[in-house]
Structure 1
Amino acid sequence: MERTGTRFIIVGILLLFFIGTGPVQAFSSDRLTVDLLDDGDAYIAFEYTLNMAEKVAVYLKIADPNAELKKALEDMFHHPVTVDEVTSNSVRFRVEAFSNITETNGSIVMKTPEISFTMAEKALRKYWFAPLVQADYSAEIATITYPDGYVEEFFDTDKIPATSRALP
């Protein structure tokens, strides 16, 4: 019970601080990497930066960005997502059947879906502190690496378009 009371006191102090200072720069997307596997699954690694208040919210379990990202990925791709690794500023997922694989004229073609970072914005809006933060959802760099080593890069974007590649 005492730990819960301490949490509410800290949250109250943070709330007063946020109200007094107005909106603050918050969550920022740094890097997104998508590593495609031969079977169509993908490892997606997302690196982000949290400000001090967000780190406190995560520590106190008020917000869980990794759980929100997992849910958003499952909603977006309609496939099971497994969290493989979590650190204080990154998360790595495995998404089953991420890419569509077809055979055309004897060539294997791998197609990826569009990835939109607006999913993060929708997840943030659920929290009480959402009006107090200004998040940057545009990834500084996003890459998709195909099984043959070919890499597509995107810079300062809030959306990665669908891509396709004929594999050798």
Structure 2
Amino acid sequence: MDKKIITSGILLIFIIGISPVQAFSSDRLAVDLLENGDAYITFEYTLNIAEQVAVYLKIADPNAELKKALEDMFHHTVTVDEVTNNSARFRVEKFSNITEINGSVVMKTPEISFTMAEKALQKYWFAPLVQADYSAEIATITYPDGYVEEFFDTNKIPATSRVLS
């Protein structure tokens, strides 16, 4: 086996052993709704050193897990739009339901729960070693007309609706 991989694995185990218990934390979730019902969902998060090493070594892939969790939650096509070291942006097709009532356009969004992300973490061997915080410090839903709903320190965003102007 490659010495670099073995050394990296030992380093990862050491870092996990000395890391604080708090690990992955959800910083911000932004849902930007499009007029056609699609949405861009941007998820900003913080990884500790051990998790950064795990991602670097491809032991864990938070963005792939988030994509899968979104597909499981909404049952629609999800594409990865952009990925950085601490964020991922996804496009979810047909995220919101659009109806016309008495000449007005009503847009409804589904509930968003972060419990799917927690279940995804449990599949990894290091899951018992970390305590992740999935409660977004701030979550926003921005409608096509610019109206913004805000939610603070929550692990669930309720379903919302708005008559578009």
**Residue 131 of structure 1 pairs with residue 128 of structure 2:** yes
How far apart, in 2, do the equivalents of 1:8 and 1:41 lie? 44
**Residue 15 of structure 1 pairs with residue 13 of structure 2:** yes
How far apart, in 1, do the equivalents of 2:49 and 2:20 lie? 14
**Are the equivalent residues in 2 in contact too, given 1:108–1:166 (CA < 8 A)?**
yes
**Are the equivalent residues in 2 in contact too, given 1:83–1:94 (CA < 8 A)?**
yes
Q: Which of 113, 117, 125 is the matching residue for 2:114?
A: 117
How far apart, in 2, do the equivalents of 1:119 and 1:158 lie? 11
Cα RMSD over matched residues? 1.4
Question: Which residue of 2 is the match for residue 81 of structure 1?
Answer: 78
Question: Which residue of 2 is the match for residue 94 of structure 1?
Answer: 91
Letter in 1 for 2:98: I
**Are the equivalent residues in 2 in contact too, given 1:22–1:132 (CA < 8 A)?**
no
**Are the equivalent residues in 2 in contact too, given 1:23–1:131 (CA < 8 A)?**
no
How far apart, in 2, do the equivalents of 1:46 and 1:17 lie? 25
Report how far residue 10 of structure 1 moved: 2.1
- TM-score (ref. length: structure 2): 0.95
| SS at structure 2 position matched to 1:166 | strand
1:123-168 CA distances to partner (integer Å, 9 max, x unpaired)?
1000000000010010000000000000000000000000000111
How far apart, in 2, do the equivalents of 1:30 and 1:16 lie? 26
Give the number of aligned pairs: 165
Please list every run of 5 or more consecutive structure 1 residues that lacks an aligned counterpart in the other structure.
none
Q: Which of 26, 31, 34 is the matching residue for 1:29?
A: 26
How far apart, in 1, do the equivalents of 2:33 and 2:68 lie? 20
Question: Which residue of 1 is the match for residue 159 of structure 2?
Answer: 162
Name the stretch that deviates more: 152-161 or 7-16. 7-16
**Are the equivalent residues in 1 in contact too, given 2:15–2:50 (CA < 8 A)?**
no
1:90-119 CA distances to partner (integer Å, 9 max, x unpaired)?
000000000000111111100000000111
| SS at structure 2 position matched to 1:68 | helix
Letter in 1 for 2:49: M
Report how far residue 23 of structure 1 moved: 6.5
Question: Which residue of 2 is the match for residue 6 of structure 1?
Answer: 4
1:26-72 CA distances to partner (integer Å, 9 max, x unpaired)?
10000000000000000000000000010000000000000000000
| SS at structure 2 position matched to 1:144 | strand
Report how far residue 21 of structure 1 moved: 4.5
| SS at structure 1 position matched to 2:140 | strand
| SS at structure 2 position matched to 1:56 | helix
Please list every run of 5 or more consecutive structure 2 residues that lacks an aligned counterpart in the other structure.
none
Report how far residue 9 of structure 1 moved: 3.4
- TM-score (ref. length: structure 1): 0.93
